[in-house]
C-alpha cells in the first residue's frame, strides 16, 4: 500500500503544538525531508476510530457521547412506557460506547451525561434520581438502566484480559526501546512514562484494568468478595490468580465482571434511599406529618410483585418526585392546581392531597380513596389496588397537564370543569388498558 503524502499526518505529542513549534517543524521538514512537506502537522490524529496524541481521549469520546445523547432523545420521543424504553436504552444507547470504552478510560463528564440522559429517556424531571438510584430500582421495574460507567470499565477489562499476553510483552518491549532513557520511578512501578501527553497512556489504562488499579481500583473490594469472580481470590496480585481462571467464555466473563462492578454503583438500601427521597418530594412539613413503619418498604415489596410494571413505575416516579409539574420543571409560567383548587400551586406536594384529583380517581375506580396520605402513597397498608390508584392519579395528572399548554396555559386551567371531565375520561381509558 502506498500512502499519499497529503493523507499523512505527523502527530506531535511531546510538546504543545504552538505556532512557533509548528513553523519550526515545517521548516525542518522542507529542508531535510522535502517529500514529507505535504504532511499535515497536528497534535492528535484519528487512527482506527480513536484519536491518538494530545487530547485524544476527549476527542475519541465526543462522537459516541453525541450519538448516545441523540439515541436517548429518540427513545424519549418514542413515548413508550418505561420498561420498553429501558430495554431499548440498554441495547441501543449504552452500546455506542462499546468500541472506545475498550481502550480509553471513562471520561469525567460521562456520569453527569448519563444522569441527564436516563432522566430524559424516562421522561422524568431532572435530578429525580441520584447516580446510584438510577441503577437500583429493580423492585419497580424488571429491567433498570445499565450502569454506563461500570459497563464501559467491564468492556475495557474484557479487552485487556483477552490481550494481556500481548500487553505485558508490549510493556517489556517498551522498556527495552527506552534503554537508558528509562527513569527509576517508571522502572520501580513498572509504569509507562507519560511522554509529554497529559493523559494516561492507553497501555497503562489497560494494564490497570487487568490489575484493578487506577480507575478500576474502586472495584477491588467488590471483586475480592464476590462469589461470581472466584478466580480473583487467593492473592494480592490479581494477575497471578487470573492464570487459574476457571470461567467460560470471555462474553460470560464480561457479564459477570459487569455485575460485580455495577454493584459498586448501586444503592444497597433502596428503602432508606426512597424514604429520603420522600422528604424531598413532600417537603419537611408534610413528610413530618405522615406516619410510617420503619419497614414500610419491605412491607410494600410483596404487593409490588403483584402489580403491573407500569403501575409500579408510576408509584416509583411519585415517590421520587417525578411529576412534571410547572414548579418541578421550573417552567416560566407557574400554574395553579390544574384541577381547580384556588390558591394551590401546580406542585406534587399539593396533588397528594388535592381533593378534586382524588375524587376523580375515586370515581374512575368506583371506590372512595383513603384519606390517609400514607395509604395513598402506598407507605402503609399497601395493596395492588393502592398502587393502581396512584398510577391512575399519575396518569390523570399528566394527561390533564398536557392540555394546559399554549401561549396562555393559565387560561386553560380556568376551564376547571372541562379539565376535570377530560381527566375522568382519560382515567377510564387508562384503567381499561391497565386491567
Ligand atoms: Zn388541587
pLDDT of residue 289: 94
pLDDT of residue 85: 96
Contact 376, 390 (CB under 8 A): yes
Across 299-316, average pLDDT: 94
pTM of the model: 0.88
pLDDT for 215 beyond 60: yes
Residues 284 and 181 in one domain: no
Residues 166 and 226 in one domain: yes
Contact 117, 72 (CB under 8 A): yes
| All residues at 6 or more sequence positions from 141 whose CB lies less than 8 Å from its CB, including other chains | 82, 83, 86, 309, 312, 313, 316
Q: Quick one: pLDDT band at residue 235, thresholds 50, 70, 90?
A: very low
Residues 208 and 288 in one domain: no
**Is residue 48 situated within a structural domain?**
no
Residues 120 and 161 in one domain: no
Residues 102 and 67 in one domain: yes
Say whether 331 sits in a helix, a strand or coil: coil
Q: How far is the CA of 339 from the centre of ligand 1 (A)?
A: 5
Contact 247, 256 (CB under 8 A): yes
C-alpha to C-alpha distances, 31 to 21, 25, 34, 42, 257, nearest whole angstrom: 16, 10, 6, 19, 54
pLDDT of residue 435: 64
- What would the pLDDT profile of 260-305 be if each residue is shown by its tens digit? 999 999 999 999 999 999 999 999 999 999 999 999 999 999 999 9
**Considering 264, 280, 309, which residue would you say is the last residue of a domain?**
264
pLDDT of residue 330: 80
Residue showing cell 511531546 = 14
Residues 325 and 386 in one domain: yes
**Is residue 62 situated within a structural domain?**
yes
Instruction: Please provide the average confidence, as pLDDT, over all residues in the chain.
Output: 89
| DSSP structure string for 10-31 | EE--SS---HHHHHHHHHHHHH
Residues 224 and 305 in one domain: no
Q: Quick one: pLDDT band at residue 251, thresholds 50, 70, 90?
A: low
- In angstroms, rounded to a whole number, what is the distance separating the alpha carbons of residues 24 and 139? 63
- The total domain count for the chain is 4
Percent of the chain with pLDDT over 70: 92
Name the helix (H) or strand (E) containing 40: strand 40-42
Residues 387 and 309 in one domain: yes
Q: Alpha helices of 78-147 — where are they, by DSSP H?
A: 82-88, 110-121
**Is residue 53 situated within a structural domain?**
no
- What would the pLDDT profile of 135-172 be if each residue is shown by its tens digit? 999 999 999 999 999 999 999 999 998 899 999 999 99
pLDDT for 250 beyond 90: no
Q: Quick one: pLDDT band at residue 74, thresholds 50, 70, 90?
A: very high
pLDDT of residue 200: 87
pLDDT of residue 13: 86
Q: How far is the CA of 286 from the centre of ligand 1 (A)?
A: 16
pLDDT of residue 239: 46
Q: How far is the CA of 359 from the centre of ligand 1 (A)?
A: 10
Q: How many other β-carbons are positioned within 10 Å of the β-carbon of residue 186?
A: 16
**Is residue 327 situated within a structural domain?**
yes
**Is residue 82 situated within a structural domain?**
yes
pLDDT of residue 191: 81
Q: How far is the CA of 334 from the centre of ligand 1 (A)?
A: 14
C-alpha to C-alpha distances, 312 to 125, 292, 388, nearest whole angstrom: 18, 19, 8
Grid coordinates given for 300? 410494600
**Is residue 50 situated within a structural domain?**
no
Residues 428 and 295 in one domain: yes
- In angstroms, rounded to a whole number, what is the distance separating the alpha carbons of residues 311 and 364? 16
**Considering 264, 283, 314, which residue would you say is the last residue of a domain?**
264
pLDDT of residue 187: 82
Q: Which of the residue ranges 39-53, 175-189, 239-253 would you say has the lowest mean pLDDT? A: 239-253
pLDDT of residue 233: 52
pLDDT of residue 236: 44
pLDDT of residue 432: 86
**Is residue 49 situated within a structural domain?**
no
**Is residue 238 situated within a structural domain?**
yes
pLDDT of residue 228: 67
Q: How far is the CA of 121 from the centre of ligand 1 (A)?
A: 28
Contact 152, 95 (CB under 8 A): no
**Considering 243, 264, 285, which residue would you say is the last residue of a domain?**
264
Q: How far is the CA of 393 from the centre of ligand 1 (A)?
A: 12
Q: How far is the CA of 324 from the centre of ligand 1 (A)?
A: 15
Residues 236 and 320 in one domain: no
- What would the pLDDT profile of 396-419 be if each residue is shown by its tens digit? 999 999 888 776 666 666 788 888
Boundaries of domain holding 363: 270-434
Q: How far is the CA of 81 from the centre of ligand 1 (A)?
A: 26
**Distance separating the N- and C-terminal Cα atoms of the chain:** 66
Residues 397 and 429 in one domain: yes
Across 108-117, average pLDDT: 96
Q: How far is the CA of 176 from the centre of ligand 1 (A)?
A: 76
- What would the pLDDT profile of 182-200 be if each residue is shown by its tens digit? 888 888 888 888 777 788 8
Strands 40-42 and 9-11: parallel
Residues 287 and 391 in one domain: yes
Name the helix (H) or strand (E) containing 66: helix 56-77
Name the helix (H) or strand (E) containing 259: helix 250-264
Across 35-45, average pLDDT: 91
Q: How far is the CA of 338 from the centre of ligand 1 (A)?
A: 7
Amino acid at each position: 500500500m502506498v500512502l499519499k503524502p497529503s493523507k499523512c499526518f505527523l502527530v506531535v505529542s511531546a510538546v504543545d503544538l504552538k505556532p512557533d513549534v509548528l513553523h519550526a517543524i515545517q521548516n525542518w521538514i522542507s529542508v531535510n525531508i522535502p517529500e514529507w512537506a505535504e504532511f499535515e502537522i497536528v497534535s492528535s490524529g484519528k487512527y482506527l476510530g480513536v484519536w491518538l496524541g494530545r487530547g485524544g481521549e476527549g476527542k475519541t469520546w465526543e462522537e459516541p457521547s453525541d450519538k448516545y445523547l441523540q439515541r436517548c432523545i429518540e427513545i424519549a420521543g418514542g413515548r413508550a412506557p418505561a420498561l420498553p424504553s429501558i430495554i431499548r436504552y440498554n441495547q441501543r444507547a449504552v452500546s455506542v460506547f462499546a468500541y472506545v470504552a475498550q481502550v480509553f478510560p471513562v471520561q469525567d463528564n460521562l456520569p453527569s451525561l448519563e444522569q441527564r440522559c436516563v432522566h430524559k429517556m424516562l421522561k422524568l424531571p431532572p435530578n429525580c434520581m441520584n447516580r446510584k438510584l438510577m441503577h437500583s430500582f429493580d423492585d419497580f421495574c424488571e429491567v433498570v438502566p445499565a450502569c454506563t460507567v461500570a459497563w464501559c470499565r467491564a468492556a475495557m477489562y474484557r479487552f485487556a484480559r483477552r490481550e494481556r499476553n500481548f500487553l505485558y510483552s508490549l510493556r517489556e518491549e517498551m522498556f527495552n526501546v527506552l534503554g537508558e532513557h528509562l527513569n527509576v520511578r517508571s522502572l520501580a512501578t513498572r509504569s509507562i512514562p507519560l511522554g509529554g501527553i497529559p493523559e494516561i497512556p492507553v497501555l497503562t489504562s489497560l494494564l490497570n484494568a487487568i490489575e484493578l488499579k487506577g480507575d478500576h481500583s474502586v472495584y477491588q473490594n467488590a471483586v475480592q468478595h464476590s462469589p461470581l469472580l472466584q478466580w480473583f481470590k487467593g492473592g494480592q496480585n490479581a494477575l497471578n490468580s487470573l492464570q487459574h481462571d476457571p470461567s467460560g467464555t470471555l462474553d460470560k466473563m464480561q457479564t459477570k465482571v459487569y455485575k460485580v462492578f455495577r454493584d459498586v454503583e448501586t444503592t444497597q438500601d433502596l428503602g432508606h434511599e426512597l424514604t429520603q427521597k420522600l422528604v424531598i418530594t413532600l417537603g419537611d412539613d408534610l413528610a413530618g406529618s405522615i406516619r410510617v413503619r420503619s419497614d414500610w418498604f419491605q412491607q410494600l415489596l410483596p404487593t409490588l410483585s403483584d402489580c403491573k410494571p407500569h403501575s409500579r413505575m408510576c408509584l416509583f416516579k411519585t415517590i421520587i418526585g417525578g411529576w412534571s409539574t410547572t414548579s418541578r420543571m421550573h417552567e416560566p409560567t407557574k400554574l395553579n392546581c390544574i384541577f381547580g383548587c384556588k390558591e394551590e400551586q401546580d406542585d406534587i406536594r399539593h396533588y397528594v392531597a388535592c381533593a378534586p384529583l382524588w375524587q376523580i380517581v375515586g370515581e374512575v375506580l368506583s371506590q372512595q380513596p383513603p384519606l390517609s396520605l400514607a395509604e395513598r402513597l402506598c407507605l402503609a397498608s399497601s395493596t395492588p389496588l393502592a398502587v393502581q390508584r396512584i398510577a391512575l392519579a399519575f396518569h390523570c395528572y399528566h394527561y390533564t397537564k398536557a392540555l394546559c399548554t399554549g401561549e396562555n396555559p393559565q387560561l386553560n386551567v380556568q376551564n376547571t370543569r372541562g379539565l376535570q371531565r377530560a381527566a375522568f375520561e382519560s382515567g377510564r381509558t387508562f384503567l381499561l388498558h391497565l386491567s
